[in-house]
Amino acid sequence: MKKSFLLPHSCMRVGLILLVPFFIMFCLEMAGAAPEITITMPCLANNELLDGTVWFTLLQGEDIFMEIWILGLLVSLLFIALSKEKVEDEMILQIRLQSMLHALWVTSLCFVLETLFLFGFAYAYSLWATLYIFLLFFILKFRYELYQLKKAEK
C-alpha cells in the first residue's frame, strides 16, 4: 500500500484563504507601513547585546509582526502546494514530481546566482526568500501543467 504524505484536498482552500491576509501583511512590511505587535518572547540566542551572545532568555517588547507573516506565508503556501487534488492518480503524481524537480532546478540556480552576486544582508535576505521561490514556482508549474492536461483532454 502506497503511503501519501499529502494533505486533504480541503487544505488547499484553507491555504488560499490564509494567503490573502499574510500577503497583505507582507506588502505592509515592504511598504514600511507595518504596525507594531510587541510582546515578550522567549529567545534561544541573541547577539544584539554588546557583551556577546546571550542564551535562553526573554526579550521584552519584541515586535513579532514580521514573524507572523513569515510563518503565515509559509504555512499557506505549504497548504496549497501539498494538498491532494480531487482525483489523485498516477498522472497527477507524475506531474507533481516533474513540477517539484523543475522548482528544485530553478531554486538551485537562484542559490548559485545569489551566492555569486549578492553580499551582506542582501545575501541573507535572498537565501530566506529562496524557500518561498521554491514553493511559488512549484505551485505555478504544477497548476500550469494541470491546466494543460485538462485542456488537452477536451
Q: What is the mean pLDDT of residues 58-80?
A: 92
Confidence of residue 154 (pLDDT cuts 50, 70, 90): confident
Residue 49 has pLDDT above 80, yes or no: no
* Residues 73 and 133: beta-carbon distance below 8 Å: no
- Among 151, 140, 150, 147, which Cα is nearest to 100's? 140
36 Ramachandran zone, left/alpha/beta (phi>0; psi -120 to 50): beta
Residue 121 cell numbers, joined: 544582508
**Angle in degrees, CA 69, 119, 35, rounded to 5:** 25
Average pLDDT over residues 17-46: 91
Per-residue pLDDT, averaged over 43-57, amounts to 74
3-state secondary structure of 14: helix
pLDDT given at position 51: 66
What residue type is 68 in one-letter code? I
